[in-house]
Structure 1
Amino acid sequence: MDDFTIYNDPILVRKRKGISGDPYKNVTETLWVDKGVAYLRETPSRTERVRVTGTSYPLYEINDGELTKDTYKVDYVHGEVYFHESLNKKSLTFSYLGTGVLYFPDSRIYLTGDKNYGSAKIKFQDIDRSVLEQKNRVDNLIRSTPQPSELVDVRTDRNGKVYSVAKDRIDADQKKIEDVQIDLNGKEYTSPKARVDADQKMVEDAFMSSSRTEILKSLDARIIYDYNELNQNINTKVDNLQNTLVPQIDNLKNIINTEINRIESRIKKEINVIDFGAKGDGVNDDTEALRAALAEAKKRGGGTVIVPYGKYLLRGSLTIYRNTRLLSDEGVVFFRANDYSGYMLKNGDSGDQYTEYNGNGNIIVSGGMWDGRGNLFENGGTLITFGHSENVIFENLILKDVVNNHGIEINSSKNVIVDNCKFLGFRNTGQRDYAEAIQIDRASEAGFPAFGSYDLTPCRNVTIQNCFFGKSGTSGMTGWGRGVGSHGTITASAKHSNINVKNNRFEDTIQWAIYPLHWDDSQITNNKIINCGGGVRANVSSASMFRITIDSNIFLNTGEAGLSNISVVGSADYEMRTVSISNNIIYGVSDKSVSGIYAAYCNGCKIQGNDIRNCGTHGIMVRRGRYYDVSNNSVISCEDTGIYFWTDILYSNISNNSIGYIGLNGIHVTSNVDTLSISGNTISGVNKVKYDGGMGNHIRITDNVDRVSIMGNVCRNIAHDYIATNGLYISSTCTNVNRTGNIFRGIGINDNSGSLVTGDSV
C-alpha cells in the first residue's frame, strides 16, 4: 500500500495531563441510550467517576453484577456507559471529568492475517463494493418477480376491472351503492331498500291482473337478488375495513394505556409528606408524619419523598431506607425541636446489624436546612449519620449550629458524594474542639453508636466538593473544630481510601481545616483555607499511610492555633509513604505556627512548586525520614529559616528553590543528616537586622551532617537590612562535603569541615 499516504494520515491525540497547567475538563452532555450503551464524547477520569441523571429515580454506578434499571457500568478505557434494557431510547445527562480523546485513522490499522488487503481501510472499501453488488442483485430480483395474486385481487372487481389501488376500487363500489338509491326520475332514497320498496309499490299499483302479478314476481325476484348481492358486497367490505382498523385501534389503545401506566407509576413513586399529616408550620411536631412517608418509600421498595416549602419541627430521629430520594423544596428547614441528643437523620434503625456496605444505600438527600439549634440546646448531637451504605449523595444541604458533634458523619460507607453543601456554626462546650463538620469514620461501637454491626468497615471512594465551612452568624456559635477529617485509632486492615476533598472553602476553623487520618490513595486539591487554626494535617496512628496528594490549595492567614498550614507526619513505627505537596500558595503564616509546610517521618515526600510568603516562622521544615525532594519552591519574606532540615534525615535533595528576605538562615541542615544534595538554589537576603548580628547564614550546615554536595547555589546580601554573617557556614563535625560552582562573592565563607572545593566564587 502507499506508505506516503499512511504517514500523512496522523493519529490525533487530544489528551490532557490532569495537572494545574493542563487540567481535566468538566464535561456535561446529553446522550441517547442505544442498545443498552451510550458513547461519551471523551474518555472520563476513573478517579472522578461518571454521574448520570435524567430519570425520575437516582442512578448508581456499579463495578460488577447484573445491571438493573437504576444502575449502570462505565468502561473508563473506551468511554462507554452500559445500562439496563429498560433505559433504551432514553435521553440521559452525563457529567464527568474529561481526560481527552484519541482518534486512530483506519489507514493505520494493518491486517497481518489477510494478505489480500494492506489495511483495514482497503478491506472496508472492498466490503462496501460487495454489499452494493449484492443489493443490486436483490433489487433486480424484486423488480422481476410478479406481485402476489392476493395484492392484485384486492384491486380487481367482479367484472375483472383492475384499479390502481384498493381504495379506488372501494370508492367505485361505494358509488354504485349510492347510484342504486336514485330512481329514473332523479329521486334519491335513504337506502337501496327504500328505493326497491318504492319501485315495487309502483309496479303493484300499475298492474292488477294475474299477468301483472307474474311480472311483479319476476321483477321482485330480480330486485331481491340484486339487493342481496349488493348487501353481501357491502358487508364484505365493512368486514375488511374492520379487520384492518381494529388491530390499529387496539395497538393505539395499548400505547395509550402503557403511557398512562408509566405516568401513574411515576406519580405513585412520589411521596409527599403532607399526605401523611406533616404541617410544616414550625409549631406542630412533624416527626411521625415524616417517618410515615419514609416508611412508605421503604414499603414500595424505594421512591422519592417530597418535602414542600415549610418549617418542620423534629422531636426525634428520622430513618431513610434504601433506594430513596429525600427531596426538599428550596426554603425547607428541619428544626431540632428539643434537647435530645440523637441524630436528626440516619440510614438505619437501632438494633440493625449490617455488615460491610450492605446496609441502606442508593440514597440521595437533596435540599433543605438541617438546624441543630446549638445556641439553645446543650446535648446537640450529629445532624446526619450514615453507616454501612453504598451509593449515597448529599447535595445542596445546609447543616447549621451543632454542639460538640458533626454536621454529617460518613461511617463504613463507599461511593459517597457530598456536593454543594454549607456547614455553618459550631459550639464546643468541653474538650471537643477537634469535632469535624464532616467526620469520616469506621464502624466501631464507640465511634458509631447509631446501629451495627461493629465490624470496623472503613470508608472508600468519598468525594467532598464545592462545599463551604464557616460561621453561621448565630450568637454564641463559632467556626467548626475541624472542617473534614477523621479521629480515633485505625488498624492497617481498616484504613480509609480514595478520599477526595476538592474545590471547597474553609473559614475560621478552631483547629485544622482538613485532617486526613489513614486516608490511603487520597487527594486534597483546589481548596481555599482562610483564617483557620491550621491548614491540612495528614498523619498516622497505628499503621503507615500511603499515597496522599496535597495540590493547588490556597492558604491565607492560617496557623493562629500554633499549627502548620500543611503538615504530613508519620511516627517512628509507621511512616507517611509517597507524599506529594505541590503547587500550593501559602500566604500570611501566623508567628504562632510551626511552619508553612512541615513534614516528618516520611518515606518518599515531594515538596515542589509551592509559594510561601509573609511567613511569621519557618517556611519549610523537614524532620526525620528519607527520600525528601524539596525543589522549585519560592519562600519569600520569612521571619525564621527558609528551608530547615534537622534530625535523622537520609537520601534527600534541596534544589532550585528561590529564597529571599529571610529572618535567620536561608537553608539550615543539622543533626544527623546523611546523603544530601543542595543545588541550584537562589538565596537573596538573610539574617534580618532584628536579630542584632545573629548567626544567620545563606547556607548553614552543623552537627554531624555526612555526605553533602553543595553545588551551583547563588547567594547575595540585600541592602543593609539583610546582611549574612556568612554566605556558607559548615561546622567541624560535618564530613565528606563537596562544594562545586557556588557563588558567595563578597559575603564570606566559614567552612570548618575540610570539604573538597571546585570552582566556588567567593
Structure 2
Amino acid sequence: MNKVHGERSGGLTPGKGRAISRRALLSTMGAVGMAAAMGSFAKAAGAAPSVADSVYGGEIAGRTDGEYAKLTPNELMKLKLCLSATISELRAGKRPLISDIYYVTDRGREGLFVYDGSDASSPDNDGTVVVTASGDRYIRRTEAASPIDVRWFGAAGDGVSDDTDAIQAALEESLRLGSAVIRVPAGRYKLTRSLHLYRNTRLLLDDTAVLIRSHRGALLMNYKTSDLFYGYEGNGNITIEGGVLDCNAHGFLNPSVGIALAHSGGITIRRVTLKDVPLGHAVELTGVEDVRIDECAFLGFVGDKDRYYVEAIQLEPATQAGFGGFAKDHTATRLVTVTHCYFGGSGTPGTAPWPCGIGAHSAGADKFYDHITVTNNTFEGSSYWAIRPFKWRNSIVSGNYIRQAAGGIFITMPAPGSASTKDEHGVVWPTQPASNLVVESNIIEKASGTGIYVEGQQAAPIHNVVIIGNVFRDVGGHVIQLKSCDFSIVSDNIMETGAKNGLLVADCTRTELTGNVMRDIGFYGFNVGGATSLLTIRDNKMINVSQIGDNRYDGIYLSGSSSDFRVVGNQIRTEPGKAKPRYGMNIHNTVTNITRYGNDLRCEAASGSLRDLSPEPVTSPADME
C-alpha cells in the first residue's frame, strides 16, 4: 500500500473515498487523544521504524517507541492516512496490515482501532476488541484512564432496546484490563437480567441516565451465585456514581433489590437515586466492609403486611437465615457510613417510603455490626423505624432529620434463642447486646410512635449508650424509652409535645438522665420502674406534664423494685391554662436508698408537690459515709 491511495495487499478494503483527512480526525479525536492512540499503536506493533514509516510516511523518523506517545500536534498533522470503517466491516476483514489505523464511524461507537498482532486470545466484545473473520484482533485505542462508554458496545439508551449485553460487556472490561471506569451517558437503558460488577470498577452514570429493571432479579450485583468468596475477598473496590436505578416495581412485582453487595470491601455509592423497589431493599450489604453511601436518594417501595420491617439499606451478615447467596460463613458487615442521603416517597402511584431507612433484622453469634455511622440524612414517612441499629457496636447516629415516621431510632438486639444467636454451625449462643453507641443532634418531628427506643435484655443489657442533644417535636408515643440498659447517659435533649412519657425507664442500671428540657408531655415527665438501680435524675426541666388530663400523672414517678437513686436539682412548672399534674414528684414505697434534694416542685400539682413513700430518703447534700 502506498502512503495515501496505493494498492492494498491485505486487511479491510475501504470503499471509495474512505480515507479520513488528518484535520478531520484531529477535530474528532483531539491532539492528546490521537497522540495517546498513536503511541499505544506503535508499542503494540512492536516494529518502530516500519510503523513510523507506514503511518507517518517517514516524515518524523528518528523517534523511539517510548516517544510515540509524545508526538506534538504539529507532528500529528503530518499523518497521511486513516481509514474509516464500521464495526461490522472490521469484523469481516481479512489479513490486517500492521500499518492500518481505522476510525470506526458507527454512531455512538466512534473511535480508533488498530491491529494488535500480539493478542491471540481476547474475545470479541463488540466494543473494545473486534475479532476478524481470519481470527485477528483490532483493539480500540483511547487515552490512558479514559472512561469506557457503554455505547461503544451498542447500548442504545432508548428505553426500548435491550441494553443488557452491551452494558455487561463494558463492565467486563475490568476483568480484561484489571480496572476500568465505565461511563453510562444520558438515556434510558432497559435491562433484562442483573448486571454483575467486578473488582476495581467505577460505574459512572450521567445524572439523567436511568437503568430500568425489566426482569425479576436485582439490578446490580457484585457476585454470582456460582461464585465462592469468603470473608471480604470478593469483588471490591467498586464505585457506583450518579444516575437513577429504577426497579420498576409495577412492571415486575416480585421480591428484589436494587444493589446487592456481598463478601467485599471498598464500596462507594454516591449521588445515586434508587426508586420503586418491590418488597426488597434498595441496597443490601452482606458481609462487607469499608462502605460509604453518600448523597443518594431512596424513593419508593412496594410492600405488603408481611414486609412491614424492610430497610432501604439493609446490613446483614452472610448467614443461612439472611443471605440467599454463596459462602454463608457469617462474615460481619462493618465500617459503613451513610451520609447526606434522602429517604422518602417517589410519587409513583402505589408506592410508599421504605418502612425503615437503615438497619438490620438478623445477626449471628459473636458477630456485630461494628463502626456504623449514620449522619446528616433525612427520613420522611417511614412506617416502621427510620433507623434500626440491631446489634450495632461502636457506632454513631448523628445530625439526622426524621419526619412523620412511625418511630425514630430503635436500638435493639437479638432475642434469646432466636436464629440471630446461632453461629455458623447452628449452635445457639447466649444473646449478645448492642454497645458503645452515640445518638446525638438528631431532629425527630411528628413521629406517630416512640422517638428513641433502646431495648436490651435483662440477662444482657445494652450498655454504653449516649443519647445527647436531640430535638423532639410532636411525638405520638414515648419521647425516649430505655429498657435494660447499663452505663448510659441521656442528656441535654429538648422534648416538645409528647403524647405519652417524656422518659420511660425500666430495668436499667448506672444511668444518668441529666439536663433534659421537656414541655407539653401527655403522661409522666420521668417514669422509672422495674428493677432499676444506680440512676441519677439531675437538673432537668419539665413544663406542663400530665397533659392527658388534670391529676393523672406526675412530673417524676419512681416505682418498682428500684434502688439507689439520686434525684437532684430538677424543676417542674405548669403554665396557665394547662392541665395540672397529680404530684410534682411521686416515689413509691418499694423504692429504696433514695437521695433527693434541691428539686423545685412548684407546679400547682393537684394532689401535692411531693409524695415520697420510700423508706428513709436522704434529703441533704451532705456527704454520706
Identify whether the pair has TM-score above 0.5, normalized to the shorter chain.
Answer: yes
Structure 1 residues without counterparts, runs of 5 or longer: 1-245, 743-762
Give distance in 2, aligned partners of 1:430 and 1:528. Answer: 26
CA drift at 1:303: 0.5
Question: Does structure 1 retain, via aligned residues, the 8 Å contact 2:190–2:212?
Answer: yes
Paired with 1:736 and 1:603, the residues of 2 have a C-alpha distance of 26
- Secondary structure at the aligned position of 1:305 is classed as strand
Whole-angstrom CA distance in 2 between matches of 1:319 and 1:741: 68
Separation in structure 2 between the aligned mates of residue 674 and residue 532 of structure 1, nearest angstrom: 36
Counterparts of 1:729 and 1:683, CA distance in 2? 14
Q: How does 1:358-369 map to 2 (within 5 A)?
A: 358-369=233-244
Measured at CA, do residues 684 and 289 of structure 1 come closer, stay the same or move farther in structure 2, by a change above 3 Å? Answer: same
User: Is residue 2:453 matched to residue 1:567?
Assistant: yes
Offset of 1:267 from its aligned partner?
Answer: 4.6
- Cα displacement string for residues 345-378 of structure 1 (whole angstroms, at most 9, x for unaligned residues): 0001121111111000011001111111223332
Secondary structure in structure 2 of the residue aligned to 1:431: helix
Give the match for residue 502 of structure 1.
Answer: 375
> Which digits, 9 at most, give the CA deviation of each residue in 1:737-757, with x for residues without a partner?
112389xxxxxxxxxxxxxxx
Question: Is 2:183 aligned against 1:306?
Answer: yes
Deviations 1:590-641 (A, max 9, x none): 1xx2x10011111111000000011111111111020110000001111110
1:273-292 equivalences under 5 Å are 273-292=150-169
Retained in 1: the 8 A contact 2:318–2:332? yes
Rounded to whole Å, the distance in 2 between the matches of 1:547 and 1:268 is 43
Matched, 1:637 2:490: no
Which of residues 648, 651, 661 is equivalent to 2:544?
Answer: 661
Corresponding residue for residue 615 of structure 1 = 498
Distance 1:726 1:258, change over 3 A: farther
1:514 paired to 2:400: no
Q: Residue type of the partner of 2:544?
A: Y
Aligned partner of 1:534 in structure 2 is: 407
Give 1:524's aligned residue: 397
In structure 2, relative to structure 1, the CA distance for the partners of 1:687 and 1:488 (3 Å cut) is farther
Q: Could you tell me how far apart the structure 1 residues matched to 2:65 and 2:322 are? A: 60
1:544 is the counterpart of 2:544: no
The structure whose RCO (Cα within 8 Å, separation 6+) is larger is 2
Residue identity matched to 2:219: M
Distance 2:218 2:66 in 1: 52
- Of residues 507, 524, 529 in structure 2, which corresponds to 1:646? 529
1:568 is matched by which residue type in structure 2?
V
Q: State the AA in 1 paired with 2:471.
A: I
Q: Aligned partners of 2:345, 2:307: CA distance in 1, in Å?
A: 17
2: distance between equivalents of 1:631 and 1:622?
14
Aligned to 2:252, the other structure's residue is in SS state: coil
Task: Tell me if the contact between 1:309 and 1:330 (Cα under 8 Å) persists in the aligned partners.
Answer: yes
Cα offsets for 1:75-120 (capped at 9, x unmatched) = xxxxxxxxxxxxxxxxxxxxxxxxxxxxxxxxxxxxxxxxxxxxxx
Deviation of residue 688 (structure 1)? Answer: 8.7
Q: Is the 8 A contact 2:544 2:578 kept in 1?
A: no
Partner residue, 1:739: 619
The structure 2 residue matched to 1:596, chosen from 479, 483, 497, is 479
How many percent of aligned residue pairs carry the same amino acid? 29
- Distance of aligned partners of 1:287 and 1:696 in 2 relative to their CA distance in 1, 3 Å threshold: same
> Letter of the aligned partner of 1:256 in structure 2?
K
Aligned counterpart in structure 1 of residue 582 of structure 2, from 686, 692, 696: 696
Question: Tell me, what secondary structure is at the counterpart of 1:289?
Answer: helix
Equivalent position to 1:411, from 271, 286, 310: 286
Among candidates 321, 325, 345, match of residue 471 of structure 1: 345
Q: Within 5 Å, which residues of 2 pair with 1:175-214?
A: none
Aligned CA distance change for structure 1 residues 675 and 475 (closer, same or farther; 3 Å): same
- AA of the residue aligned to 2:495: I
Question: C-alpha separation between the residues in 1 aligned to 2:143 and 2:305?
Answer: 49
Write out aligned runs for 1:107-186 (5 A): none
Cα gap change, 1:266 to 1:711, in 2 (>3 Å): farther
Q: Which residue of 1 aligns with 2:272?
A: 397
2:199 aligns to what?
322
Deviations 1:182-203 (A, max 9, x none): xxxxxxxxxxxxxxxxxxxxxx
1:681 to 570, 580, 587: 570
- Displacement of 1:401: 0.7
> SS at the partner of 2:186?
coil
Change (3 A) 1:268 1:582: closer
More helix by share: 1
Match of 1:101 in 2: none
The alignment status of 1:713 with 2:595, answered yes or no, reads no
Q: Deviations over 1:651-686 (max 9, x none)?
A: 110000011111121111101111000001111129
Corresponding residue for 1:556? 445
**Segment of structure 1 superposing worse, 503-512 or 438-447:** 438-447
Partner Cα separation in structure 1 for residue 510 and residue 529 of structure 2: 14
Deviation of 1:250 (Å): 7.0
Name the CA shift for 1:489/1:660 in 2 (closer, same or farther; >3 Å): same
CA RMSD of the aligned region, Å?
2.7
- Specify the alignment match of 1:482 in structure 2: 356
- The letter for the 2-side match of 1:346 is M
Q: Residues 258 and 672 of structure 1: is their aligned pair in 2 closer, same or farther, counting only changes over 3 Å?
A: farther
Aligned residues: 479
Give, in angstroms, the shift of residue 572 of structure 1.
1.9
Asked if the contact 2:544–2:579 (Cα under 8 Å) also holds between the matched residues in 1, the reply is no
Separation (CA, whole Å) in 1 of partners of 2:147 and 2:567? 66
* 2:561 equivalent to 1:672: yes
Query: Which string of whole-angstrom CA distances, capped at 9 and with x for unpartnered residues, describes residues 158-199 of structure 1?
Result: xxxxxxxxxxxxxxxxxxxxxxxxxxxxxxxxxxxxxxxxxx
CA distance in 1, matches of 2:72, 2:592: 82
Task: Please tell me the residue identity of whatever aligns with 1:738.
Answer: V
1:687 deviates by: 12
The TM-score, its normalising length taken from structure 2, stands at 0.73
Deviation at 1:459, TM superposition (A): 1.0
Partner SS for 1:293: helix
Residues 534-580 of structure 1 deviation map (CA, whole Å, 9 limit, x = unaligned): 0000111121221001000001111x2xx311011111222111000
State the 1:411 CA deviation: 1.2
Look up the match of 1:35: none
Give distance in 1, aligned partners of 2:383 and 2:326: 31
Which amino acid is 1:375 matched to?
H
Give the deviation of 1:308 after TM superposition.
1.0
The residue aligned with 1:256 is 70
- Match of 2:250, SS state, is coil
User: Partner residue of 1:47?
Assistant: none
Cα deviation for residue 696 of structure 1 reads: 1.2
Shift in Å, 1:708: 0.4
Q: Which residue of 2 aligns with 1:63?
A: none
Name the CA shift for 1:311/1:366 in 2 (closer, same or farther; >3 Å): same
Letter in 1 for 2:620: T
- 1:337 positional shift: 1.6
SS in 1 for 2:523: coil
**In 1, are the aligned partners of 2:506 and 2:531 still within 8 Å (CA)?**
yes
TM-score, normalised to structure 1, is 0.60
SS in 1 for 2:172: helix
Contact 1:329 1:367 in 2 (8 A): yes
